[in-house]
Structure 1
Amino acid sequence: MPDRRKDIYEGAVVVVQKGPYMKTCRVSQGRSFVFGKKGEGQFTLNLDGALGCAFGSSFKMERISNKLFKIIQIKENTNMEDIVKESGEDNRNICDDGRSQKLSPEEISQLKDSGLTGKEVIQTLTENSLTFKSKTKFSQEKYVNKKQRKYDEVITLQRPSLRLLNNMYYTQDPLKIANLRIDMLSQILCYANVQSGGRFAVFESGSQGLVTAGMLHRMGTTGKLVQVYQGYHPQREAVDLMNFTEQELEVLSFINFSKLPDLDLESLKNGKESQTRSAAKTEVIAENREKASEDIKVEAKESNGESEKMCVDEEMKKVPAEAPKEGAGDEDNNKSAFKRPRKFVRTLVEDVEVSSSVLGGQIDGLVVVCRQHPVNITRELLEFLKPGHPFVVFSPYKEPLMDLFMEVKAQGATNLRLSETWLRHYQVLPMRTHPEINMSGGGGYILCGARVMSQ
C-alpha cells in the first residue's frame, strides 16, 4: 500500500516536468497523456510505470511506437564527468558562427531515431563539435545541460505544490493568473494571518484558485474557509490539483455573492440566525433568477459526482488495456479500484448553510483577489470582518486599489498600505552566482489593512 504523502498512487495528480516544461496529469492505470504542441514535437506518454514510486523520482522515456512512450524509473541521470574529458582556460577565442557542429540537423535527427540513448547522442554531439574542448568547464557544463533537456528524454514527476503550480501557470501565461507571482501569494497569506483554526473568507476570480488552495493548505484540517464567487461556479482548479484529502476539503465551503447573509448585530447578540440577503440589494450581481436556478441544478449534480470532469485530463487518451486474467468474469472485477475524488464534499444547499453560519458569526480575515474593480466587492464583504482583524486585496492594476484605498479609509480602516514587490531571481552556483538576465515585469499590487469600528 503506497504512502499517499510520499508515493504516487492511482488517482494522484502529479506535475510532469521535462526541463522547463511542466504539465499536470492525474495518474490512472491504462491512460496516456499528450504533451507538446501539435506537429513533430507532440508525443503521447503512458504513466503506468510511476505507480508506487516516490514523488520526485526521475523516469526514462522508452519508445513503444512512433509517438507513444512509456516510462521506466532511473536512479541516476547523465553524469557530465562521463562526457567532459578536457576543457580550456577561457572562451575569448571562440567564435559563435554556427559552424562549430559538424553534424547537420538531419544527421542529428537520424541519431535520435536510430535508438541511441540520450547520453550517447550527447556524446556524439560533443565529439563532433569543433569548439567544445576549448570551452571552459563551466561552459561545457552549460552546453551538456542544455543538450540533456533536449535529447536525454528524462522526466521528473513532482508532488503538486503552490510554488510548482504558480510557476507552471506563470510560465504558460502570466495573465492567466492575473500576474500573481509566488512572492505576492506568500505576502497575501502572511498579511491576512491565515492559520489553522481560524475563520476566513476569500473572493477569488481570474487566478485559477491559487489563493484558495494556499489558504486551505495553511489551515490544514481545522478552521473554516468560505469562498465567495460570482457566476455559475467557483474557481478551484488549483484546489483540485493539490491532492487534498476529503477531511481537508471539509474546511472549505462555497457561497454565491447573491446569497450573502444579512449581518444584524442585534440578532447576533440574541443568537438568532441571519437571513439571506436580497439579490437586488447588491450592485455587482448580473445574473437573474432563472440562471441561478439552473446553476443550482448543475452544481448539485456535480456535487453528487454524476457529471464531474477532471480538469487535468483535457488531452487524455486511452491506451489498449491488457487482457483480463482468468477467472475475472464480472465486469465490476475488471474495473479499476480507483475512485475519482469528490470535488464537493457537500451539496450546494449545505454549502450555503455552512458559509452563512461562518460569515454570520464574523470572520478573522478577508482576502479579495480579482481582476474587476474591487470596491463594491470589498465594501460588501468587509461587513463580515471582525473589528481589528486584517483584510488583503490583490489586483494586477494599481488604479483600482487607489480608489479602494480612499473608500475603505472613509469607512474606518486603519494601517492601510498599498505596495508592489520587485522580484529578481539569482543563479546560485559555485563561482557563478549572479542575477538572472530575464526577470518578471510585475507581479501585481496589494492593499492591506485592518478594519476598525467607531463607538
Structure 2
Amino acid sequence: MEMKDEPPTIKEGCFVVITRCGYSRLCPVVPGKRILLHKTVFYLDNLVGHSFGQYFEIVNKQLQVCSNTIPESVAFSNNLPDGLMSDSDADSNSDTEEANGNMEENASNQMVTCEELAEMKKKGTSSDEIIRTLVKGSLSFKRKSTFAQSKYVQRKKLKHSEYVLVLKPTIRLLADIFYKKNPGKMQYLRQDAFAMLLAKSNIYPGARVLIVEDCYGLISAAIVEKMNGDGICLQIHRGDQCQSKPCLDAMDFPENILKTFQPVPISLAFKENENEDNAIPIFTKWQQKLQEFEKGEFDSLIIASRFDPRILSEKLLSKIKLSGTIVIYSACIQVLSECFQQLRSSNQVLNLEIMDTFMRYYQILPNRTRPEMNGHVSCGYLLSGIVAE
C-alpha cells in the first residue's frame, strides 16, 4: 500500500503569502500580529493547523476557512454573477454603451442604504451575498454596458469581498511580491530577467556558487533551492551579519538544505581588517567559510549588487574555475558596458554578451484583451561569459 505525503500545514512562526483581490503580501504567522492588506485589517491566529492553498473569509478580523473550494465572489472575479447579465451582448449593444457614457453614478441609483449594508455585515452576511444584494439594488446596473457591469462588480468585490487565499511561499511568488512592492530595492530585477539570470548561471546540485547580491536574498534562495542540500552557495555581504534576506527566511528551508548557504563579510573576503586588533577573533568566527572562499574553484559567479561590478569582477574572477560562468546584472547598461570592456581586455572571459529581456502583462477578457496600462519598461541588463585561461 502506497503512502501519500500529507500536504504541508501552516505552523506558528512560518511565513505565508496572503492574496486578496490581486494584492499579495508576505506575512509571518505570529499570534496577535495585526495584518493590513489593501485597507483590510485581520489577524492570522486561526491559520495554524490548516493546509496551504485554502481560501479563508475574514469574519470579525479573524480568518475562517471556507467550506467551498473557490468562493463565488472569487469565481466570477472577471464575470458577472449568474442571472445578472444584461439582455444584450457587448458587441451589439451600441445604444446601451452610448447611454452609459451619459449615465451619472450617484447614491440615488442604489436602493441598498448604508444602514442596511452595515446591518448585513453585523449579522455576518457573506461577502458573496452582499455583492449580489448591491448589484440587484442598483437601478442603473441593467442600463450599463456589459463592460461597465463587469467593472461595477469588480469595484464592489474589491471593497466588500472578505476572502483571502493563503499560499506557501515560492521563489516565483516572492519575486513577484517584492518587485511590485519596491522594484528599486530589487535592483529592478523583474521575473523574466531573474529567470534569465538563473539560466545563464548554470546552477545544479553539487555546484559551488559565489554570489554578491542586494535583492532581498531572492537569488540566494533560488540557488539554495536548486542545489537541494548538495553544494555551496557562498554569499559576500556588507557588515558583520548577512542582513535583508527575507526571501531566504520565507522559504523556511530545513537545516540539511540551508547548510549550503554560507555568508562571508566583504571586509574579510577582501582582507580589509587584517591589520586591525580585533581581526583574530573575527577571523576565527568565519574561518571555515573563509577557507571555502580562499579555496576558490567556484563554478559560477553571480553579481547583482549596488557595488561597482567592475571592482567586484576584478577581485573575484580569480576564484572562478576554468569553464565556469560569470553573470552580472545591473539596472544601468552603461555600467555593464564598461565592465564588458574590462573583462574583454583581460582575455580571461570568452563568449561575452550583454542582453536584456522584454515582458508585458496582458489582460485576457472577452472583447477586452489588451496589454496592461501600467508597467515598468526596463528591467535591467545581463552580462554573461565563460571563464577561460
SS in 2 for 1:221: coil
- Within the candidate set 202, 205, 214, 1:196 is matched to 205
The residue number in structure 2 matching 1:230 is 238
- The change in CA–CA distance for 1:121 and 1:432 in structure 2 (over 3 A counts) is same
The offset of 1:135, in angstroms, is 4.3
Maintained 8 Å contact 1:112/1:151: no
Maintained 8 Å contact 2:12/2:29: yes
Maintained 8 Å contact 2:327/2:383: yes
- The change in CA–CA distance for 1:4 and 1:241 in structure 2 (over 3 A counts) is farther
Maintained 8 Å contact 1:122/1:144: yes
The residue number in structure 2 matching 1:128 is 137
The residue number in structure 1 matching 2:93 is none
- The change in CA–CA distance for 1:361 and 1:254 in structure 2 (over 3 A counts) is same
- The change in CA–CA distance for 1:372 and 1:108 in structure 2 (over 3 A counts) is farther
- The change in CA–CA distance for 1:99 and 1:236 in structure 2 (over 3 A counts) is closer
- The change in CA–CA distance for 1:137 and 1:98 in structure 2 (over 3 A counts) is closer
TM-score (norm 2): 0.84
- Within the candidate set 150, 169, 176, 2:185 is matched to 176
Aligned-partner residue type, residue 46 of structure 2: G
Maintained 8 Å contact 1:216/1:252: yes
- Within the candidate set 162, 172, 176, 2:171 is matched to 162
The residue number in structure 2 matching 1:89 is 89
- The runs of 5 or more residues in structure 2 that have no matched partner are 91-96
Distance 1:360 1:426 in 2: 48
Instruction: Note if 1:208 corresponds to 2:211.
Output: no
Instruction: Note if 1:423 corresponds to 2:353.
Output: no
Deviates more, 1:350-359 or 1:155-164: 350-359
Instruction: Note if 1:363 corresponds to 2:277.
Output: no
The residue number in structure 1 matching 2:194 is 185
Distance 2:118 2:314 in 1: 61
SS in 1 for 2:386: strand
Deviates more, 1:233-242 or 1:91-100: 91-100
Distance 1:243 1:5 in 2: 16
SS in 1 for 2:292: helix
- The change in CA–CA distance for 1:167 and 1:292 in structure 2 (over 3 A counts) is farther
Maintained 8 Å contact 1:100/1:129: no
Maintained 8 Å contact 2:203/2:226: yes
Maintained 8 Å contact 1:84/1:140: no
SS in 1 for 2:99: coil
TM-score (norm 1): 0.73
CA RMSD of aligned residues (A): 3.0
Q: How many residues align?
A: 368
The residue number in structure 2 matching 1:344 is none
Maintained 8 Å contact 1:60/1:71: yes
Higher relative contact order (Cα pairs below 8 Å, separated by 6+ residues): 1
Q: How does 1:45-444 map to 2 (within 5 A)?
A: 45-63=42-60, 68-75=61-68, 76-78=70-72, 80=76, 82-87=81-86, 88-90=88-90, 91-95=97-101, 97-99=103-105, 102=108, 107-108=113-114, 111-112=117-118, 114-115=120-121, 116-135=125-144, 137=146, 140-205=149-214, 207-234=215-242, 235-260=244-269, 278-279=271-272, 289=276, 349=284, 351-357=286-292, 359-412=294-347, 413-429=349-365, 432-444=368-380
Give CA-to-partner distance per residue, 1:135-188, whole Å, 9 cap, x none: 455653453244223211111111111221122112222112111111111111
Distance 2:384 2:210 in 1: 15
Distance 2:267 2:101 in 1: 66
Distance 1:105 1:424 in 2: 41
- The runs of 5 or more residues in structure 1 that have no matched partner are 261-276, 282-287, 297-347
The offset of 1:229, in angstroms, is 1.1
Deviates more, 1:404-413 or 1:429-438: 429-438
- The change in CA–CA distance for 1:230 and 1:145 in structure 2 (over 3 A counts) is same
Identity among equivalent pairs (%):
26
